[in-house]
A and B are shown apart, each in its own frame.
Chain A
Amino acid sequence: MIHYSKNLWNRDLKRFQSGYFKVENQRISEIEFKSPAFGSSTEDWGDLYLAPASIDLHVHARDFEESHKETFETVEAAAKKGGVAAIACLANTRPRRDSVASIQEFIKRTESKKVLFRPFAAVTKDLAGKENTDWQALLKLPIAGLSDDGKPIEDPERMRAVMKVLKGTSKLLSLHEEDLSLSQGSCLHESPAACRWGVVASPPSAEVSMVERDLRLAKELGVSLHFAHMSSREGVQLLNAARKKGIKFSAELTPHHALLTVDEVLKMKVDQLSQFKVCPPVRGLEDQLALRSNFLDGTLDCFATDHAPHSLFDKELPIEGALHGFSSLEWHWTLANELRLQAGVDWSVLIRATAERPAELLGLSNRLGSLAKGKDASFIVFDPLEEVLLVPGASKNHNGPWAGRRCRGKLVATWLGGERVYEARS
């Protein structure tokens, strides 16, 4: 089968061009930036855009004892609707992914899925920060890497130890940077808007101090780190300075930190606040602008949703008792495109952050991340300017600020391995 479009992503020239690619055995067997010989097996996408499917490095897939929040089936449906070919799933499931057996169970449950699932294994047992998991054994499994995401690694000695073990491997150490002594019990970013509601607020310093510590340790040990969900101006400035000094790392920008500010809570009613509770919190305008400019220059090189579905029961509570997290995977691509338009992001930067870079980090570049000969025919078809209403439908639960908003960028279809797995209703 041949897919032709006037706007096919050319990764070498870094622009959209008229072209086609041929799919054989789920892979791209030929890609040319000219018109094909049209035949009966040619799909002519016309003016619609074709780009590589995304890879999301930050997904809380739930299932197991939390299948009331999300199941592997519903999270896969959300990924397909979001234009996502592979997801890296965090270890804070119930029970935790903190042993070889628990990782093997995860792999067994997800290996036959069309969307590629890559689990993170926990750094400490039960993510409790007390006892290390069996890092050596876990690193032999096909995992994305190690992470206690949801919680920081508080003990610096433990951090050094895990860095040493990871050195020389291709696995990620994904870090949730938060000094809990500064943010315990917090609901919102420390700001006048949070003060309006009288809730405990988290200062940027809770993130900054941990980023600073870990950059220092990484430099000492010559290890590359992965910084999850960066939220603060000062935190990202530290990363920027480190990058200029040649320290290697990767780092995520989430759609909520990139597109929202804490001032949204000023327009809310008190019982809407729990839907805005996320960790780290959505911060102020100056933080948002700094995150955007550091996305443009590649300091934040991965776009990741931090998809964290919760049941209504967990969110229909006062903000202080509600759980953190937003459901967002099914709008992965639309939110990335909205960021592109709002922040003036080049297509090449966006596609690098949604597809190429995360594919490299997961060791999947031979299959995903770009459209080239020999790679999986995993791609998205979209109209980059059509306005869409974000209507929940794929994930099992829809908590957070996105449902009901309007964004630009209609994902028309997602194809994985040469097969159409999602098609938008016209």
Chain B
Amino acid sequence: MEAKLKGPSPGLSLGLTSVTDLSLDQVFELFENAQRELAPISSNNPTSKPVLGALCFFENSSRTKISFERAGRDLGLEWIDFQPERSSLQKGESWRESLQLLKIYGAQFLVTRHAETGFADWARTWTKLPVFNAGDGAHEHPTQALGDAFTLWKRAPQDKFQIAFFGDVARSRVARSSSQLFQKLGHRVQVVNDGTLSTKNFAEAFQVELVDRSQLKKIDVVYALRTQIERGSRSSLGPLRFSDLGESTLVMHAGPVIEGEDLEFSLCDFSVARLLVHEQVKSCLDVRRAILHRFLLDTQGGRA
């Protein structure tokens, strides 16, 4: 199997904090590997212990955390589940120190989610450990973006899609990461104009087109964003409606879908083929497994 892996890769030995760190070759290598049954890595040293990662979720998340956990277990990893809400953070301990302590407890890499932009990069600086960014504020969510892009690649590896983001893009890390990765892969990315300055700023910052809601019928994929209720935001667009879509328009959403807020109720039948939400969940799991696999190869010198 090792020979079939595409390479050489610049590697993920430092983890992954931003989609901008990835080359196209790396992305395609991850996609190829995400399609495979990846076996646990066996170290060259038969007496060595399993690699230990720490899941550090400072913001609520169930899906991403379960996804990383499962992907790691498939590869023989062990996890420390750091639970900030139950830790000394309540007593004023800083995150900086919490993460440094995890290193002392033996963590060899971190998966972090936090409400602040740049947290994953700082976690790497503070601990000198590899860090995988599972969401930093409204900034990035690179493994979600890879899962999203993989979802489309599986459907048609050669096709370039026209994709429109629908919702409050300015507060969305999913929109930031996925729009950059989609563009890198040659897809045409648009943002539905909700008339706000922040959406206009987003379009300018990422050099994507603004498109009217009425144009969605002609678009291949509508990517609906989660309403960021916890950040005090409701999109002025309201939910994505069945009547917005063309006959073959695909609908993506990073989950969890807030039914009636993000998508109107009649669109929330997750068994319908055009709604890719569950496919995305599967894709993200497969991609995270491929990422951790690549990481273990790069850092442990093991054999697949």
Contacts and interface: CB of A to CB of B under 8 A. Distances in A.
B204 A271 contact: no
B116 A321 contact: yes
A45 B271 CA distance: 85
A46 interface: no
B119 A318 contact: yes
A317 B121 contact: no
B122 A199 contact: no
Contact of A196 (B115, B121, B197, B205): B205
A199 B231 CA distance: 12
Nearest to A198: B138
Interface residues of A, number: 21
B75 to A, nearest CB: 28
A269 interface: yes
Given A198-B138, A198-B173, A199-B137, A318 B117 contact: yes
B88 interface: no
A316 interface: yes
A198 B168 CA distance: 12
B133 to A, nearest CB: 10
A197 B139 contact: yes
A320 interface: yes
B121 A195 contact: no
B205 A320 contact: no
A193 B205 CA distance: 6
Interface string A194-228: 11111100000000000000000000000000000
Q: Contact residue range for chain B? A: 20 to 34
Contact of A199 (B138, B172, B197): B138
Contacts of A362: none
B18 interface: yes
Contacts of A126: none
A191 B198 CA distance: 8
A363 interface: no
Interface in B119-173: 119, 121-122, 125-126, 136-139, 170-173
A270 B205 CA distance: 15
Nearest to B231: A200
Contacts of B117: 197-199, 270, 273, 318-320
B204 A269 contact: no
30 contacts: A190-B197, A191-B201, A192-B204, A195-B198, A195-B201, A195-B202, A195-B204, A198-B117, A198-B138, A198-B171, A198-B176, A199-B117, A199-B137, A199-B138, A270-B121, A270-B139, A271-B122, A273-B117, A316-B122, A316-B125, A317-B96, A318-B114, A318-B118, A318-B122, A319-B116, A319-B118, A320-B116, A320-B117, A320-B137, A321-B116
Interface of A: 190-199, 269-271, 273-274, 316-321
Interface of B: 17-18, 96, 114-119, 121-122, 125-126, 136-139, 170-173, 176, 197-198, 201-202, 204-206
Query: When A and B form their complex, which 7 residue pairs have the shortest distance between CB atoms, in order from nearest?
Result: A198-B138, A318-B116, A192-B204, A195-B201, A270-B118, A192-B205, A320-B116
